[in-house]
Structure 1
Amino acid sequence: MKTRIAPEVAAPATPTPQAPPEGRGFQWRRWRQHCAALLANLSVVAVGVTMGWTAPALPVLRGEQPDASGAPRASLEEASWVSACMPLSAIFSALPAGAVAARAGRRAALLALALPFAAGWLLVAFARSHQLWLVYLGRLVMGLAVGPCTVFVPMYCEEIAERSIRGAVGSYLDMMMVIGNIWVYALGAFLPYFWFTLLSVAVPLLFVATFFWMPESPLFLLSKGRAAEARRALRWLRGSDFDIQPEFDALLASVEKPAPEAREKASLLGLLRTNPFRSTTVRAFSIVLGLMFFQQMSGINVFIFYAVQIFNEAGSNLSGHVSAIITGVVHFVASLIASITVDRVGRRFLLLASSCVATVCLTALAVYSYLHSSGHDTTSYSWLPLAALLVYLSMYSVGFGTLTWFMMAELMPERSKGWASSAAVCFNRVLTLLLTKECPILMERVGQDVVYGAFAGFCLVACVFVWVCVPETKGKTKEEILEMLGGDKP
């Protein structure tokens, strides 16, 4: 049945204020959009803490680092499962996320994620010496929030932001995830296992306390026939001196689809029944899957999950904890720069630069690891692992780290965004599971140099993929993006 939009009561005629010109970077009238996006991304800080926790925790669980808090002990195989439990449950929780966001709303769905995050951290923190199963359970529970989070946040941010700041707002996801990494790296360097784990509960609690006051997506409200609420939300986001009527009318038109055809293509099954290989939706979805694939095969989550261990084994002059904190800070600065430049430079250029420089850095790291493991004197080059990873993480942030998530929301037609985002995040978490579970074992069996060389090869192929397949979406409307992909309407 076609969604009916409730009629609005006509407001008294007032002079129409003129919209300020676009494209001038940060403007104070847009501070509410930035605020709502940043507070939504506090949930992503919780994701970053969950992902980065293994870096300081695994040396304790493996017995490689003394700890007086009675933490459980784990073998290499068991430790790999501690890492893998989170992406394992995230795979399954990501699948229904699009449908949940469409039914409950982006805001309510995001707020609900605080519960599994907090419960998971309590389970992990209170696991004692012979209760490794509680660590597994806690990581599985946290994964139930991690999967949907990276579906809900890009969707919410893309729908509340004006076109001219869409890139900057979308780039907050990677930046806030890195803040979560730094938080847990720093706590893990100075506090016992119990305390740096327990204090991680503070992040989801802070998220609920702040994001609770933010509005729902106007597009979602219109899709549910709640036009008056949508107008109020849009008015708050744009400011009282901004003429929201043209944008409101465009949003209203975008949810009033011709019923039979739009509903048939809205689901994956319906799409497959219609000539899928000529569909704009399939083209967009293929690009999104490609970006997700190369994001993960660059090795990013291996470096985040095992940062302390990697630096300890690389022969760096600095301790693993200090090196991990430094890489996190540089990663954050690069993400901040990306949020400023992404709407000025363009998506394709940043993706190409990211993959090309990552290829060089990972190749250098592979060569160093080979020489170090072969017994060559690498003392004069002990600075290289940290330097290579700093440059790698910086370029990852300005390219695949920042752009993959919000290009998922940019490229997909509105009618397909729910299932497509869920499927893409599910695919991403499958790759995260495989890499974080198997890479530590592969590094021990075939050597770090082989693993880093493989990552470098994937980054090189990513350059070709971006050059051939990825369109430039900077400053374009949804209609213009879909026209480039084949002409479907959103």
Structure 2
Amino acid sequence: MLAPQIFAAVTSTVLEAITGFHIGWPSSTLPKLLEDTSVPVTQDQASLIVSMMGLGGMTGPICVALTVDKWGRKTSMILGAIISLIAGIMTTFARSYWWYYVARFASGLGMGFTSVVIPMYLGEIAQDTRRGGLSILMAVLSNSGTVLVYCVGPWISVSVLSAFGILMPLVFLLLVPWIPETPYFYTMKGKPELARKSLEFLRSTTDIGEEIEKIEKNVEFDLQHVGTLKTLLTDRGNRKALLLTLVIISAQQLSGITVIASYGTTILNEVDSDISSSTAIIITGVVQLVVSILVTFFADKIGRRPLLLGSMFFSMVFLTALAVYFHLEANGNDVSGISWLPATALVSFLCAFSAGLGGVTRSVISEIFSCNIKAYGTIITVIWTSVLFAVILQLYPNVVNNYGIHIAFYGFTICLAIFSIITFFYLPETNRKSFGEIQQMLHKRSESNQIMQPDPTPECTRSNSVYCIDIKNSIN
């Protein structure tokens, strides 16, 4: 019976919906904040309000590293939800732009918790045959939170919209008592009876002897081969995995998706179209959600490389179309005959992005790191994502105001072209490959040669099992 496992997965990924909500929040609220005299906000202050979430996102992963193995995955999720709840309360009752600064930083801090602990929790509760589908659930819930903002934001006040940022964490906090801590964490802490009870609940059966034995072996292996930051940075294969991950994340963020999610309504307001910006942004959000759901059905059949490279190529095409339109408009050309182009290109871009860069990126990251350094790789990846998130959102308004919106989109296109070339030549296909095969490719060793890493147990190869983080000895 899958019901308890699915319930636990859906409950945990409610946190992803909260993250998606906060990412999309500026799109509907910024135009209102700039006009609202009750809470005066300048253009520069609005830009900083948007980017503060990225600054908080840099801090969250570090905090998770200190809590997740000490207090548990479930407790870490609760902490993330409480932080998000505080962010929602401050946003709803904001009395000055400083309230928004602190609230957005807190929402980023919660995002940092979520981005690290949710994949860990899902990987440790899911059956091997369900793990891939449950990981895609994260992207679906994140897009759902953003779509919520797009659908209701234009027609309600900033404070009422922000109240959803209170409601969603409360929903999670009401549901979380009914889901278990992971059996991996209990086993790591030497609590076999609690581990057994957790697994019995998740599998809806007491016949778990074989699986609990595998978990115990995985935990024993991970505790014997604790990865360090030095292991990640000095080993050739691990270093290549990290660099490839940073390239993919850079391609994702520098494609302009962060700007479109946060400034979508403002961008479409620049267009003289028969479709209102509010309607157009709803369409883009729904399309992105639908495509992210559809991609779960063919991701394993097509493969990671084709989806990523195809996504990058078509994203560049549609970004170029947007850049050319805004360039023509900036030069005083009559663009009334192609007023349909920006909204169409934006929707098409989101389709292309969601088919590869949006969801497949997460799958590649989960597969490319070896088990004993996955924690450090994930934390660095999340921090880098947050850095790009903050920098892009801070620089974008300045680029638009000083050089024009077309320069920003030309820049996104060029960045994506560079990263697509690197991806084409260096990213291996990880689809349907075992852990050993992926590591062989990264180390460029023949099958007859042994990779200079501990050989993980088969069950550890595809799990996000125990992320053993030893902060004190991480560089020894």
Query: Structure 1 length normalisation: TM-score?
Result: 0.85
**2:25 matched to 1:53?**
yes
State how far apart, in whole Å, the 2-side matches of 1:292 and 1:231 are.
37
- Percentage of pairs with the same residue: 30
1:358 and 2:358 are equivalent in the alignment: no
Partner of 1:221: 186
Residue 228 of structure 2, aligned match among 254, 262, 267: 267
Alignment of 1:39 onto 2:11: yes
Give the CA deviation at 1:365. Answer: 1.0
Is the counterpart of residue 252 in structure 1 residue 213 in structure 2? no
1:107 counterpart (30, 53, 74): 74
| 1:370-391 Cα deviation digits (max 9, x unpaired) | 1122222212211111111111
Where does structure 1 lack aligned partners over 5 or more consecutive residues? 1-28
Offset of residue 277 of structure 1: 4.2
> What does residue range 421-440 of structure 1 map to in structure 2 within 5 Å?
421-440=378-397
Sort the Cα spacing of 1:100 and 1:288 in 2 relative to 1 into closer, same or farther, 3 A. Answer: farther
| Superposition deviation, residue 303 in structure 1 | 0.4
Structure-2 separation of matches of 1:268 and 1:297 = 26
Letter in 1 for 2:147: I
Aligned partner of 1:319 in structure 2 is 276
The 5 Å alignment of 1:1-400 reads 29-63=1-35, 71-128=38-95, 131-240=96-205, 244-257=208-221, 262-263=225-226, 266-269=227-230, 276-278=234-236, 280-400=237-357
Q: Provide the C-alpha distance between the structure 2 equivalents of 1:98 and 1:392, rounded to a whole number of angstroms.
A: 35
Unaligned runs of 5+ in 2: 444-450, 457-476
Task: Show CA shifts across 1:104-132 (max 9, x none).
Answer: 2222211221211111121122123xx21
Instruction: Give the CA deviation at 1:79.
Output: 0.8
Give CA-to-partner distance per residue, 1:401-423, whole Å, 9 cap, x none: 11223432332223222222111
SS at match of 2:260: helix
The residue type paired with residue 49 of structure 1 is F
Distance 2:272 2:223 in 1: 63
CA offset at residue 480 of structure 1? Answer: 4.2
Change in CA separation of 1:156 and 1:403 when aligned onto 2, cut-off 3 Å: farther
Q: Distance in 2 between matches of 1:381 and 1:335?
A: 28
> Which one-letter code corresponds to 1:249 in the other structure?
E
AA paired with 1:399? G
How far, CA to CA, are the matches of 1:338 and 1:230 in structure 2? 34
Q: Which residue of 2 aligns with 1:11?
A: none
Please give the root-mean-square deviation of Cα atoms over the aligned residues, in Å: 2.2
Q: Tell me, yes or no, if the aligned pair for 1:71 and 1:193 is still in contact at 8 Å.
A: no
Could you say if the C-alpha distance between residues 163 and 32 of structure 1 is closer, same or farther in structure 2, counting changes exceeding 3 Å?
same
CA contact (8 A) 2:241 2:368 kept: yes
CA-to-partner distance for each residue in 1:246-283, whole Å, 9 max, x for gaps?
Answer: 443333222223877x24xx1214555xxx143x3222
Q: Is the 8 A contact 2:231 2:238 kept in 1?
A: no
Measured in 2, the distance between the counterparts of 1:56 and 1:313 equals: 15
Shift of 1:153: 1.3
CA contact (8 A) 1:169 1:339 kept: no
Whether contact under 8 Å (2:231, 2:373) holds in the other structure is no
* TM-fit CA distance, 1:479: 4.1
Which whole-Å CA distance do the structure 2 matches of 1:246 and 1:282 have between them? 35
* Cα shift at 1:340: 2.2
- CA separation in 2, counterparts of 1:268 and 1:334? 36
Identify if the C-alpha distance between structure 1 residues 484 and 214 changes in structure 2 by more than 3 Å, giving closer, same or farther: farther
3-state DSSP class of the match of 1:113? helix
- Residue 471 of structure 1: SS of its match in structure 2? coil
CA deviation after TM superposition for structure 1 residue 239, in Å: 4.4
SS of corresponding position for 1:62: helix
Aligned equivalents of 1:186, 1:271: Cα separation in 2: 43
* Change in CA separation of 1:418 and 1:335 when aligned onto 2, cut-off 3 Å: same
Describe the shift of the 1:183–1:127 C-alpha distance in structure 2 as closer, same or farther (beyond 3 A): same
Q: Does 1:473 align with 2:473?
A: no
1:299 counterpart SS class: helix
* Counterparts of 2:9 and 2:42, CA distance in 1: 41
Q: Which moved more, 1:461-470 or 1:53-62?
A: 461-470
| Matched residues, number | 447
1:49-97 CA-to-partner distances (Å, cap 9, x unmatched) read: 111111111101111xxx5xx6412111111011011111211222232
Gap change, CA 1:471 and 1:214, over 3 Å in 2:
farther
Change in CA separation of 1:484 and 1:229 when aligned onto 2, cut-off 3 Å: farther
Taking the aligned partners of 2:259 and 2:275, their CA distance within structure 1 comes to 20
- Report if the CA contact (8 A) 1:168-1:343 is conserved: no
Residue 236 to residue 410, structure 1, CA distance change in 2 (3 Å): farther
TM-score by length of structure 2 reads 0.88
Task: Give the secondary-structure state (helix, strand or coil) at the position aligned to 2:133.
Answer: helix
Distance in structure 1 (CA, Å) of the matches to 2:197 and 2:279: 48
Instruction: Say yes or no: does 1:464 pair with 2:421.
Output: yes
2:407 is the alignment partner of 1:450:
yes
Moved more, 469-478 or 348-357: 469-478
User: What is the SS of the residue equivalent to 1:104?
Assistant: coil
Q: State the secondary structure of the residue aligned to 2:94.
A: coil
Residue deviations 1:204-236, cap 9 Å, x none? 111222233222233333222233333333343
Contact 2:150 2:278 in 1 (8 A): yes
Give the residue type in structure 1 aligned to 2:152: L
Q: Tell me, what secondary structure is at the counterpart of 2:332?
A: coil
